[in-house]
Structure 1
Amino acid sequence: MTVEDNSNQPIIEEKILLEKRRVPKDRFHLVYILFFILGNASSLPIHIFMTAEAYYSVKLKGTPYQYNFENYIIVAYSISTIFASAANLRLLKSINVKHRMIFGLIVLTISFIFTAFMSKLDTTNWKITFFALTIITVILTGLFGNSMYQSSLYGLVGVFPKNYSQAVQCGQALSAILTALASIISLIVGKSVYDSGLGYFSSGVVLLMLCMCIQFLLGRVEFAKYYMRNLECGKKTVEKITLIEEDGEEMDEEIKPMYNRKLSNYQRINYVFKETWPTTVALFTCYTVTYTVYPAICSRVASVDRGDNDLFTGKLYIPITTFLLFATADMVGRTISVWVLWPSAKRGITLMILSLGRIIFIPLIFYCNAQPRRKSIPVLIPNDAAYVLIITLFALSHGYIKAIGVMHAPMRVNSSYRESAGSMSYFAIVSGFGIGSALSFLVAAVLY
């Protein structure tokens, strides 16, 4: 593409070549590792709440919330994150991304310190109050903490090369694996659930404080500083020079006018959604399907060969086959996306169709051996191996579609709007998370 004055073409080409030569290297893959750790911390809060099943079952024993507390926690978390992520889309132009992330980390740290403190209190005589305080903490965590932090992280990594988005994805998946392993180890060694709860939440505090240090370090690394100049906050003008994407393709003529003037918040969001809607819908559908049955139904699937004295088919069956297996397969799916970039960024409709196809997993898991269940609803898949295969494919497809969608969304817009595309991806994710969580109540009501 040429600019209005063709005589300036050699100068523009020289500027582009010089710019490419100035791109610093990510020495020792430091920034990649930092994003991996930040990704790990970004999904740690909800995974800790979700996998602390034994802890909350004892704390809430004898209350109506003993067996379905996950549903309440997930719904409280998802509703608050939907509102917060929508607000974050409007804050892109007004509040620096680093300030948003630090604020989110501070709120998360305070929430986890409070929750760890609560784990050591005797709540026998005020279980309902304890449940209410837990839900309030989850809401505050989602509203001011995790959503602000994670949405900003998606926007931040959106301005970096696409493999850095994959680092965040794998870091998030690893946090699920670590929390599942922690749950299994605590069950094996036989520690009290109160000590397990204290360990869960204290480890979260340590990791979150580490992320605060990383956030300050990131702004001092030359490689990170180079790409962070594309962050949207504070941009007042757009240079009217040749706009060329990283893959060397020129900008579409229909898009060019969008960059010759400053856009309002509505125009910016409308433009980004218009360009990324297939991947946005794919991410929304992916999360809706997943959280309709996970963990509400999956955490109730018992072994058909269950024995009271058998460790694996007994108390370790659900932690291993539901939480650990799902988290591991999810991470494998996200990792595969590094090498198998199919469908391409331009084929968002294909990704959306693949995501819609995952609906088949809802009835498959529904008819596994989820207990308790109504006598009128039969178990059509009374086989542990079949359930393991189903949950593996379920998690693999979830991780793969999410990773591809998050990587492709920023690639469908110009670099000036990649932070918005990343934040919109997160909004689609938490919206699907919320709708799926709400639907899980309906599915559970039908089953139980």
Structure 2
Amino acid sequence: MTTSSGPSDRYKAVWLIFFILGLGTLLPWNFFLTATMYFTNRLGDPQNISSLERLPGLNSTDEGQQPPPTYLQARFNNFMTLCAMLPLLIFTCLNSFLHQRIPQKVRILGSLVAILLVFMMTAALVKIPLDPLPFFVITMVKIILINSFGAILQGSLFGLAGLLPVSYTAPIMSGQGMAGTFAALAMICALSSGSLLADSAFGYFITACVVILLAIGSYILLPRLDFFRYHSMKDKTEYRVHERHAELETKIDLIKKDEPNGVEQSYPNNTPPQVPSEKPSVFSIFKKIWVMSLSVCFIFTVTIGVYPAVTAEVKTTIAGSSEWKRYFIPVSCFLMFNIFDWLGRSLTAICLWPGKDSWHLPFMVAARIVFIPLFMLCNVQPRSHMPVFFHHDAWYIIFIILFSISNGYLASLCMCFGPKKVLTHEAETAGAIMAFFLSLGLALGAVLSFLFRVVI
């Protein structure tokens, strides 16, 4: 169907494709986080073969029987964070400046295929015995590749969404939120079963391969849809019209200046007049969206600063010896955060308040800093300096709900509004810049999380 403003999005097909692509951007990394138990078990002493058989801690109540962690096991999370955040930031930065030189199709499709190959290799390695050190090195290389291609994919995807109406950034953010929920549910299923560790890990990675294949197929289908084709071609047409109009204005201006003398205008030092550049300046675009860029950076700095470094260390005070003690963090921290974060992201599909030019938005973003002391004053254990003020589990759950829904909603608003504060032909560059500041916020939050935890 075609309306006065172009064809409609039949059956919400374009919306669903962007949702699947958003899911594909974060699902790989979330699956690596979910399988941390598998990776750390593979890094144990080779003689402790029994530690690789079943998920530890699920059927045993005697934690003292577990062997002490090796150096690689103890430092795995630190190295994993380092190998994830640095490539994410570096490649997002490169994507902001180089996206105009590499075709969009190569960036998105190439990244998806590369991520698929990494997961196929990861699934195959589940069945191949390796010594801890080679396995550790291979795993770190895979984490670097996942986050490098993920950064390129994310920046390109937000830039692509900038060509469409403002509501089409929301499904990307919503899909990313659903990736975390899926991973949290997988973690809970693993806790509630006594399945073999290798079988569980193999299922994780095969599932990720299926989702990435679905994302590849969705992206291939996207240019065939009238709604997407209309908006993408409309952008290019407007860009060419804009350039021709600017060139015409320049020529008219020069003719008017030459009219009094009736001769061709000469220029000192044989310097020709400046012609508008075909490629918009990254810095000039940033000046238009700096509020949105810094806002999304601050949102994720606060979020990653305490989640999960602080929030995952909170201990229940009401469980006693019940099963709630085992499920408290997987449910209250990971599952609830991802569900309400996803709900916050999804709210932008029906509500875009406050507006893109309102100062209420940066004020609300800045107000989220209050969550840092609130979580610090929960029952985080062990602790050395700060007292516990919010003892009951209910306080922690309330904070998690408000924390996660505000993260999803405000981040989605910023990512939606950023590309809409610039000219149409600058939208893709603006989307890439926004993705860079999102990644910068993740990196800053990861660094500050060490400080926040030490202060407690």
TM-score by length of 2: 0.82
Q: 5 Å matches for 1:160-239?
A: 160-229=164-233, 238-239=242-243
Note if contact 1:230-1:415 (Cα within 8 Å) is conserved in structure 2: no
Bigger CA drift: 317-326 or 187-196?
187-196
Residue 352 of structure 1, CA deviation: 2.1
Deviations 1:186-217 (A, max 9, x none): 22122133322222221111111111111111
> In the superposition, relative to structure 1, how do residues 408 and 431 fare at CA in structure 2: closer, same or farther (>3 Å)?
same
Partner of 1:385: 394
Note if contact 1:50-1:70 (Cα within 8 Å) is conserved in structure 2: no
Partners of 1:81 and 1:106 in 2: how far apart? 18
Partner of 2:32: 49
> In the superposition, relative to structure 1, how do residues 220 and 356 fare at CA in structure 2: closer, same or farther (>3 Å)?
same
Partners of 1:365 and 1:68 in 2: how far apart? 25
Partners of 1:415 and 1:330 in 2: how far apart? 29
Note if contact 2:95-2:432 (Cα within 8 Å) is conserved in structure 1: yes
Partners of 1:96 and 1:238 in 2: how far apart? 22
Partners of 2:17 and 2:182 in 1: how far apart? 18
Partner of 2:276: 261
Partner of 2:138: 133
Identity, in percent, stands at 30
Partner of 1:329: 340
Query: What's the secondary structure of 2:70's corresponding residue?
Result: coil
Partners of 1:91 and 1:416 in 2: how far apart? 16
> In the superposition, relative to structure 1, how do residues 53 and 390 fare at CA in structure 2: closer, same or farther (>3 Å)?
farther
Deviations 1:280-335 (A, max 9, x none): 00000001111111122222222123444x22222x21111111100011011112
Partners of 1:355 and 1:411 in 2: how far apart? 19
Residue 158 of structure 1, CA deviation: 1.0
Partner of 2:350: 339
Partner of 2:21: 38
Note if contact 1:155-1:421 (Cα within 8 Å) is conserved in structure 2: yes
Partners of 1:351 and 1:69 in 2: how far apart? 38
- Whichever of the two has the greater Rg, that structure is 2
Note if contact 1:232-1:419 (Cα within 8 Å) is conserved in structure 2: no
Partner of 2:12: 29
- AA at the equivalent of 1:401: L
- AA at the equivalent of 2:26: S
- AA at the equivalent of 1:294: Y
Residue 375 of structure 1, CA deviation: 4.1
Partners of 1:194 and 1:377 in 2: how far apart? 41
Query: What's the secondary structure of 2:242's corresponding residue?
Result: coil
Residue 239 of structure 1, CA deviation: 4.3
> In the superposition, relative to structure 1, how do residues 129 and 380 fare at CA in structure 2: closer, same or farther (>3 Å)?
farther
Q: CA RMSD in A?
A: 2.4
Partner of 2:289: 276
Residue 135 of structure 1, CA deviation: 1.8
Deviations 1:107-154 (A, max 9, x none): 11111122222333445xx334433322221112122x1111111111
> In the superposition, relative to structure 1, how do residues 293 and 23 fare at CA in structure 2: closer, same or farther (>3 Å)?
same
Partner of 2:417: 408
Partner of 1:351: 361
Partner of 1:88: 95
1:100 is aligned to 2:127 = no
- AA at the equivalent of 2:276: R
- AA at the equivalent of 2:141: I
Residue 446 of structure 1, CA deviation: 4.1
Partners of 1:325 and 1:91 in 2: how far apart? 37
Partner of 1:313: 325
> In the superposition, relative to structure 1, how do residues 352 and 92 fare at CA in structure 2: closer, same or farther (>3 Å)?
same
Residue 273 of structure 1, CA deviation: 0.5
Partners of 1:136 and 1:173 in 2: how far apart? 25
> In the superposition, relative to structure 1, how do residues 231 and 146 fare at CA in structure 2: closer, same or farther (>3 Å)?
farther
Note if contact 1:284-1:431 (Cα within 8 Å) is conserved in structure 2: yes
Partner of 1:425: 434
Note if contact 2:21-2:215 (Cα within 8 Å) is conserved in structure 1: yes
> In the superposition, relative to structure 1, how do residues 276 and 75 fare at CA in structure 2: closer, same or farther (>3 Å)?
same
Residue 67 of structure 1, CA deviation: 5.6
Number of residues of Structure 1 aligned to a counterpart in Structure 2: 402
Q: Where do 4+ consecutive residues of structure 1 move more than 4 Å? A: 230-233, 239-242
Alignment partner for residue 126 of structure 2, among 119, 133, 146?
Answer: 119
1:438 is aligned to 2:443 = no
Deviations 1:49-86 (A, max 9, x none): 22334323433451245466444323321210111111
Alignment partner for residue 317 of structure 2, among 287, 294, 304?
Answer: 304
> In the superposition, relative to structure 1, how do residues 119 and 300 fare at CA in structure 2: closer, same or farther (>3 Å)?
farther
Partners of 1:127 and 1:340 in 2: how far apart? 50
Residue 376 of structure 1, CA deviation: 4.3
1:295 is aligned to 2:302 = no
- AA at the equivalent of 2:357: K
Residue 382 of structure 1, CA deviation: 1.7
**Which blocks of at least 5 consecutive residues in structure 2 are unaligned?**
45-68, 247-274
Query: What's the secondary structure of 2:84's corresponding residue?
Result: helix
- AA at the equivalent of 1:38: L
- AA at the equivalent of 1:360: V
> In the superposition, relative to structure 1, how do residues 153 and 293 fare at CA in structure 2: closer, same or farther (>3 Å)?
same
Deviations 1:28-58 (A, max 9, x none): 1111111111111111122112233432343
TM-score by length of 1: 0.84
- AA at the equivalent of 1:311: E
**Which blocks of at least 5 consecutive residues in structure 1 are unaligned?**
1-18, 243-259
Partners of 1:231 and 1:52 in 2: how far apart? 42
Partners of 1:289 and 1:60 in 2: how far apart? 32
Alignment partner for residue 366 of structure 1, among 358, 376, 397?
Answer: 376
